[in-house]
Structure 1
Amino acid sequence: MRSLRARIALTYAALIVLAMAVLGAVLLRTEAQRYRRLLNERLEAEALLAAEAARPLLRANADMATLNSFVQRLGQGSTLRITVIAPDGAVRADSSHDPARLDNHAGRPEVRAALAGTIGRAARRSDTEQRELIYLAVPVQENERLLSIVRVATPLSAVNAGLREVAFTVLATAAASALTAGALAAVIAGAVTRPLQRLRRAARELAAADFRRTPILSTRVAVGGVEVAELAGAFAEMAERLRRTVERLNQERSRLDALLAASSDGLLALDAGGVVRYQNPAAVALIGRAEGRPLLETARSHELQALVRTALREGRRVTTTFLLEPPPASPTAGIWVQATASPIAGGGGWDVLLILHDITEVRRAEITRRDFVANVSHELRTPLAGIKAVVETLRDGAIQDPTVAEEFLGRVDAEVDRLVQLVEELLQLARIESGAELVVEEVDLREVLGACVDRFAHMAERAGVTLSLDLPPALLYLRADAARLGQAVGNLIHNAIKFTPPGGTVRVHAEADGDTLRIHVTDTGQGIDPADLPRIFERFYVADRARSGTGHDRGRTRGTGLGLAIVKHIARAHGGSVSAESTLGLGSTFTIALPLAGMPPASP
């Protein structure tokens, strides 16, 4: 019969080995799934990039030689095999093989899926390369017409090698941990099997006393000799550690309570009957105080109730998104919430954890992003449509008339200039919004504004507009990015000249108002409708006067609607603001206000 020490050691070792085996299997499976997922994402990205790169050639119905040369250049320096397949399954180009020698691919599973309009995936043996490959195919469509299929492939051997490396690392770590744990188990088993009778009496005394009696307990047990004294010392140390552990657990529980209380997400624990047993302050702010009451009674949300029931019934995590109405008498509007209900096993009456995450700002940002994409698409489509119309007219015979051809080429040039301006302003706005660092230095305001006025003097003269600069006698200095500040003022001057009729005036002036420097650009143009004023600093917003144009401005390319947005972001980057005042028929005044904090005193 094995000794108690051996049985304890073997039991500990077996449990640890089993745990390490399970952990290793889980880790291996997780890493394998992650590895395959990343590979699929990379293949999909490569396929989409290749499809977009080949789209012009496919749209132009390039011949097989041209297309094959392009695909081979695309696949140089890569382990990927790129194939272009016609809608009938014929191979038009291949980066690794002669397309003329390849069979029709219409029957390949990944190609069938791509022909159906989805992304096709397959892992199979290639008859051409005589090895296992992973394939991913994407359709290339143009105006709902299938141009071709672009497929990428990579050897499965590379994937298997990566998985083998992960498996070896996990198994080696598990084996080393098991050996270490086995040795530790043997040591623990030897300590446990020492004089059991005295240890039992010591344990009974410890069970009948609190932690403060541990030194007395150690003295009583030590009477049996050196070995028992060592055991008593270990026992006393264990009691002390237990006391520290209990204190640490209490402290961690307090920290957990504080963490839950500080969470910005609403957290609720519910029992099987849907009664709220715990909620943190964020949850109170979202649905009101609900502890000890049914969730439906306070939240008044059938979506939440259905979510909790589904999690309890199916025993899995469930997530939904919905508009949550605020508590009664709350001044706040409804908010969009992402709610997640997770079953709790062994929660002692806490059966479901409900997490409420406020995604109102996320949805607002998504709406803003969609609007921005729509606006950019519209702004790009307009000049492109004009260019296309001119090209079609020239192709129909107008190019034979030099006068007409010159006029039409001028229109194309104007539309291209508009596209270039749009792209430049988008890039400027993106750099400013991303927080690009300003080159801050001591700036002489007279020099900055003087340079702006000089830059637009010729434009004002051509438009028949008087442009003037009016500054106080004292020199004004401030710390700012001179280039950005000049760009902002220049945008305002450009707009003022553009929308002021011949004979009008544009005046640039500045003043120090307490701790604020104000730069004004005033014009005598047609003015802005009061309904447009709150929105003129939005991206792509163009007021009615800009759409119609003033007398001298008719016939020019309309603005992009980005100039004032750039002014606003430049002002904000300097810690300031921009505003506008306007009266229809009398003109407008735009004002950039910048803080003077930290500015050196003005020179006499």
Structure 2
Amino acid sequence: MQYSLREEILKERDESMPKLEESLKSIVMEFSTGLRDVSNGDILEIRVIDDRQRILATSELENQNLIGQRSNTDLVRRAISAETLFDIIKLDNKTRNRVWVLANPIRAGAGPDDEIIGVLYIEANIESVFEQMNEINRIFLGGTAMSLVFTIFLGILVARTITQPIADMRKQAQAMAKGNYSRKVRVYGTDEIGQLAVTFNHLTNRLQEAQSTTDAERRKLDSVLSNMTDGVIATDRKGRIILINDPALQLLHISRDITLGRPIASVLGIDQEYSFEDLIHMSDAINLNFSTSDAPYILRANFSVIQKETGFINGLITVLHDITEQEKIEMDRREFVSNVSHELRTPLTTMRSYLEALADGAWKDENIAPTFLNVTQTETERMIRLVNDLLQLSRMDSSDYELNKDIVLFNSFFNRIIDRFEMSKSDKVQFARLFPETSFYVEIDTDKVTQVIDNIISNAIKYSPDGGNIRFGFTGQGDMLKVMISDDGMGIPKENVGRIFDRFYRVDRARARSMGGTGLGLAIAREMIEAHGGKIWAESEEGQGTTIFFTLPYDADEFGEAGEWE
């Protein structure tokens, strides 16, 4: 069309204007009619405008009166001045439809630099285009939405085939963390996920077996720790207690709640002397002394490091052992050796000095020699008694010590012993017998019990003042026969009463030695009474005398009824 218009304008340029307008009108109307048929009537108007902006032709019948008038359309002016095509989309004020407006320059030739001789101005209704675009968009969006829904649905199905086994594995892992190994992961296929599920189930079985083994070993360890007599404490690498058995709690007299998590040095009461680093490098045991004024109490602590193969120290094991009795035995042993040495050294020293004097010529002096020999003989006899007492204690300490028991009437037995002492005692000491009228039969080793009573009566006579009384009595108390021997002697200090039955113990050492005592008599008496199944003890107040009590097993149903003494 643009070519036909250019040719017509150039051909008719020199002709009269009415003839040009008729020719252009005919071309525009013909083209417009054909274009409307093709575009379903969307072409609203076609105008031909010359280079002076005069309307030469229009396809719109209602605008035929505009032919020859100057066009004031800005788009036309811009197309002429810029020599290029311009188009815009505007809104029709009447129909409110969107209209596409085009202004295309018409050149004198086909070249881009040829002279502009006019403008082809076209208005077209493009509302149907937008409706078609909207319809296409709706179809596209609908298809997209359906595709998206289908894709999501398909993705969910595909994802579930992957995530479901993984979710099952996660649940199984959570169950395993709680100690439940009975649950198994479902195997959905033979792919990688299925193989992973099979491997996971195998891992569960292995973990269950390992956990069972660990639990069994833990139960064994707990049983061992609980039944140990020694206390065991375990710490972490920072020295905080993570395990302590019941014996350790009992030895330390503490509760588990206040112990776990605390530093071990603080719990053992040695935090002022030792740090945790010191305990790690400790090669020797430490004695923990918890003794009080009432009773001794000593624990021994041995330390062992928990160390990995790499050398990393992971904690500390402490073993506690009660060595109170062991320390007491050791102390008694040292004291016993010291006492025996002292008891033997004293008479030997005395004998040596007298024998040296006799060797130096004192034997020629008739006044001195008998005295020296008498002292030597006395000290020799005292050493013999001491050795005999030690031998007797040694025999009693042995496991094969036996008693030769006989059933005797204790009333007569006790009387015979007292009668023997009464014949040899000084008249300055009086005996008082507080015996019941009932007869008491007991089964005893008469030699051993006689030795016990002899020792007690001898001590009572030794320490009784002139005019003092020694009282004797016995009575039945349940299944025991209780015997009493009391004197009015100087008494024993309260703090020493419990020790008079210890070996070599003397309240007044100098006086006891001068009276010929070995310090073993009451110790032997205690061993003999305890061998019979009885007990022996003393009650005394300093300056008011001493009372010795001992008991012997007694069967009232078999041997008779008990009486009373005062």
Provide the TM-score with structure 1 as the length reference: 0.51
CA 1:259 to 1:529, structure 2 compared with 1: closer, same or farther past 3 Å?
Answer: closer
- The separation in 1 between residues aligned to 2:230 and 2:216, in whole angstroms, is 23
Give the counterpart of 1:420 among 374, 378, 384: 384
Structure 1 equivalent of residue 421 of structure 2: 456
For 1:506-517, list aligned pairs within 5 A: 506-517=470-481
Residue 514 of structure 1 and its aligned partner are, at CA, apart by 4.0
Q: Distance in 2 between matches of 1:471 and 1:334?
A: 44
Aligned to 1:387, which of 351, 354, 378? Answer: 351
Distance 1:443 1:345, change over 3 A: farther
Q: CA deviation at 1:337?
A: 1.9
- The number of aligned residues is 352
| Structure 2 counterpart of 1:309, from 247, 258, 280 | 280
Matches within 5 A, 1:354-369: 354-369=318-333
State the 1:412 CA deviation. 0.7
Deviations 1:276-306 (A, max 9, x none): 3322223344276443444345444243624
> Where does 1:290-309 land on structure 2 (aligned, <5 Å)?
290-301=259-270, 302-303=273-274, 305-309=276-280
1:335 aligns with 2:303: no
**Following TM superposition, by how much is the alpha carbon of 1:310 offset from its aligned partner in structure 2, in angstroms?**
1.3
Partner of residue 337, structure 2: 373
| Superposition deviation, residue 368 in structure 1 | 1.8
**Residue from 272, 291, 296 that aligns with 2:237:** 272
Letter of the 1:402 counterpart: E
**Alpha-carbon distance change, 346 to 482 in structure 1, aligned in 2, over 3 angstroms:** farther
Alpha-carbon distance in structure 1 between the residues aligned to 2:244 and 2:542: 56
1:74-473 map, 5 Å: 250-285=215-250, 286=252, 289-301=258-270, 302-303=273-274, 305-310=276-281, 318-323=283-288, 335-345=298-308, 350-434=314-398, 436-460=401-425, 465-467=429-431, 469-473=433-437
Counterpart CA distance in 2 for 1:333 and 1:533 is 18
Unaligned segments of structure 2, at least 5 residues:
1-179, 183-204
Structure 1 alignment gaps of length 5 or more: 1-209, 213-239, 312-317, 550-554
Aligned to 2:518: 560
Q: 1:589 to 1:582 in 2, by over 3 A?
A: same
Amino acid in the other structure paired with 2:525: V
Task: Work out the CA distance in 1 between the residues paired with 2:259 and 2:488.
Answer: 61
Q: Deviations over 1:552-573 (max 9, x none)?
A: xxx9543112112222222222
For residues 10-57 of structure 1, give each alpha carbon's deviation from its aligned partner in whole angstroms, at most 9, with x where no partner exists. Answer: xxxxxxxxxxxxxxxxxxxxxxxxxxxxxxxxxxxxxxxxxxxxxxxx
Q: 1:522 Cα deviation (Å)?
A: 2.9
> Secondary structure of 1:478's match?
strand
2:552 to 574, 591, 594: 594
2:404 partner SS: coil
8 Å contact kept, 2:539–2:546: yes
Aligned partners of 1:303 and 1:322 also within 8 Å? no
Please tell me whether the aligned partners of residues 307 and 341 of structure 1 are also in contact (alpha carbons under 8 angstroms).
no
CA deviations over 1:455-476 (Å, ceiling 9, x no partner): 4344325x76455655323221
Question: Matched residue of 1:589: which SS?
Answer: strand
Give the SS at the match of 1:576. coil
* 1:467–1:417 Cα change, 3 Å: farther
TM-score if structure 2 supplies the norm length? Answer: 0.54
Say which SS state the counterpart of residue 319 (structure 1) adopts: coil
| One-letter code aligned to 2:274 | E
Structure (1/2) with the larger helix percentage: 1
Report the equivalent of 1:574: 532
How far is 1:499 from its partner?
2.6
Report the Cα distance in structure 1 between the residues aligned to 2:181 and 2:542, rounded to whole angstroms.
86
Counterparts of 1:455 and 1:243, CA distance in 2: 84
Deviation at 1:477, TM superposition (A): 0.9
> Cα 1:441–1:243, aligned 2, differ >3 Å: closer, same or farther?
farther
Deviations 1:343-363 (A, max 9, x none): 433699844322222323222
8 A Cα contact 2:280 2:304, kept in partner:
no
AA in 2 matched with 1:335: I
Structure 1 distance, partners of 2:559, 2:368, is 61
Larger Rg: 2
Distance 1:534 1:357 in 2: 27
Q: CA deviation at 1:388?
A: 0.8
User: Cα distance 1:524–1:332, how it changes in 2: closer, same or farther (>3 A)?
Assistant: closer
CA distance in 2, matches of 1:307, 1:387: 56
Map of 2:75 onto structure 1:
none
Q: How far off is 1:271 after superposition?
A: 3.1
Contact 1:340 1:356 in 2 (8 A): no
Deviation at 1:413, TM superposition (A): 0.8
- Any idea what the Cα deviations from partners look like across 1:222-245, whole Å, max 9, x if unmatched? xxxxxxxxxxxxxxxxxx9x9999
Q: Distance in 2 between matches of 1:332 and 1:470?
A: 37
SS at match of 1:591: strand
Q: Distance in 2 between matches of 1:501 and 1:322?
A: 48
Conserved in 2, the CA contact under 8 Å of 1:265 and 1:283?
yes
Aligned partners of 1:449 and 1:293: how far apart in 2?
63
Aligned with 1:496 (options 460, 484, 503)? 460
Mark the CA change 1:480 to 1:369 in structure 2 (over 3 Å): closer, same or farther: same
C-alpha separation between the residues in 2 aligned to 1:386 and 1:352?
Answer: 59
Matched AA of 1:357? H
CA displacement 1:360-405 (0-9 Å, x = unmatched): 3222221221112111111111111110111111112111123321
Alignment check: 8 A CA contact 1:517 1:595 kept: yes
Deviations 1:165-211 (A, max 9, x none): xxxxxxxxxxxxxxxxxxxxxxxxxxxxxxxxxxxxxxxxxxxxx99
SS in 1 for 2:285: strand
Amino acid at match of 1:342: V
* CA spacing shift, 1:445–1:351, aligned 2, 3 Å: same
Q: Mark the CA change 1:309 to 1:253 in structure 2 (over 3 Å): closer, same or farther.
A: closer
CA distance in 2, matches of 1:296, 1:542: 42
Q: 1:506 to 1:275 in 2, by over 3 A?
A: closer
Q: Which amino acid aligns with 1:479?
A: E
Q: 2: CA distance between counterparts of 1:270 and 1:475?
A: 67
